[in-house]
Amino acid sequence: MRVLLDHVTASRQSWSLEADGIFTPGIHLVSGDVGSGKSTLALMIAGLRSPESGTVRREEIHSTMLSFQFPEFHVTGLSVSEECTSWGLEPVTAIRQAGIDVVPETPALSLSRGELKRLHLACVFSQDYDLLVLDEPFSSLDCPGKEQVCRQISGRSGGITVIFTHEQCIFPAIDHIWEIVGGSLVECGTVPDALLQWQHAPPLVRRLVGAGTIPESITPEGLREAACRTRG
């Protein structure tokens, strides 16, 4: 199972993106500046947008899910109940799994953005996919919500998970790091070695690496452990 990007390009006016690489089973993190093309790349990997040139091949992938960065884009039901049902879920169970305090009759778009994100992600994680592409899965979530998403990502039974995010602190156990630099997708490598190359590393990771302490992982526990090593 793998996603192969072969000389993939996209462009618009003065902006362009080139991507080459192979995404294998595991958890991949893709970072990049605002407007660098992360969401465009997410769409192409998930097959919802065709590249201008080059090819995206999804080999031995039988099910794909893309979670948009804006949870409101996914809403098809008027109420929370209708929204859950549209995913084939029993509303009360889905609401409980989302950890939100609402009744099923609540209009879906009257939820706060964080509540809507929690509900949407509970629906996404109710099923298993060979390829799961998550565009900004942590935005709008509170800290316990981010930790819950990390557990859900880590608890996937296999497959390829690609996370596009600006998150700075709370990550699952990432296997591979990529970033978009100067209009090109760059593979930084496998964690922990990738942390030495990662230009978009969060400030805390940068600080630890700068002090000569390479975290084994970028989970909160991994970063805390590295910080303890720094202090001796």
Partner 1 sequence: MITIDALRYWHLVIDTLTLPPGITSVIGPNGSGKSTFLKLCSGIAEPESGTVFVDDQTPRLTGIGYVNEFPDRNILFSTVKDELASPLRFRFTPCRETDCTVHECAETLGIGHLLDRRMQDLSGGEKVIVAFAAACISRPRVLVLDECDSHLDADRCAWLEGALRASGAVYVIRCTQQMETAATGNFLLYLEKGRLLHAGTPAEVFSRLSDTSFYPLSWRCRA
- Give the whole-angstrom CA distance, residue 192 versus residue 175: 8
If one asks whether residue 112 binds partner 1 (CB under 8 A), the answer comes out as yes
Q: Which span sits near partner 1 by CB under 8 A: 64-72, 84-92, 124-132, 189-197?
A: 64-72
Q: Which two tokens stand for residue 94?
A: 């889905």
* CB distance 78 to 107 below 8 Å: yes
Burial of 62 (0-12, 13-18, 19+ CB in 10 A): exposed
If one asks whether residue 105 binds partner 1 (CB under 8 A), the answer comes out as no
Of 12, 57, 96, 151, the one binding partner 1 (CB under 8 A) is 12
Q: Which span sits near partner 1 by CB under 8 A: 20-28, 47-55, 81-89, 143-151?
A: 143-151
- Sign of the dihedral through C-alpha 229, 172, 117, 162: positive
If one asks whether residue 145 binds partner 1 (CB under 8 A), the answer comes out as yes
Q: Report in angstroms how near the CB of residue 177 gets to partner 1 at its nearest.
A: 14
Q: Which two tokens stand for residue 224?
A: 């805390």
If one asks whether residue 202 binds partner 1 (CB under 8 A), the answer comes out as yes
Measured between its terminal Cα atoms, the distance across the chain in Å is 42
| Alpha-carbon dihedral angle through residues 211, 214, 218, 219, given to the nearest 10 degrees | -90
| Complex with partner 1: residue 56 or 100, whichever CB lies closer | 100
Q: Which span sits near partner 1 by CB under 8 A: 59-67, 74-82, 154-162, 221-229?
A: 221-229
| Complex with partner 1: residue 58 or 117, whichever CB lies closer | 117
* 180-199 positions binding partner 1, by CB under 8 A: none
Query: Which residue matches tokens 């996404």?
Result: 124
**Residue 180, SS3?**
strand
- Give the whole-angstrom CA distance, residue 215 versus residue 203: 13
- In this structure, what DSSP letter does residue 167 have? -
Number of residues in contact with partner 1 under rule CB under 8 A: 48
| Complex with partner 1: residue 83 or 115, whichever CB lies closer | 115
Sorted by sequence, the CB contacts under 8 Å of residue 51 that are 6+ apart come out as: 8, 9, 10, 44
If one asks whether residue 38 binds partner 1 (CB under 8 A), the answer comes out as yes
Of 70, 107, 130, 187, the one binding partner 1 (CB under 8 A) is 70
Contacts to partner 1 by CB under 8 A: 12-14, 31-35, 38-39, 69-70, 72, 100-102, 111-115, 117-118, 136, 138-147, 166, 168-170, 200, 202-204, 207-208, 220, 223-224, 227
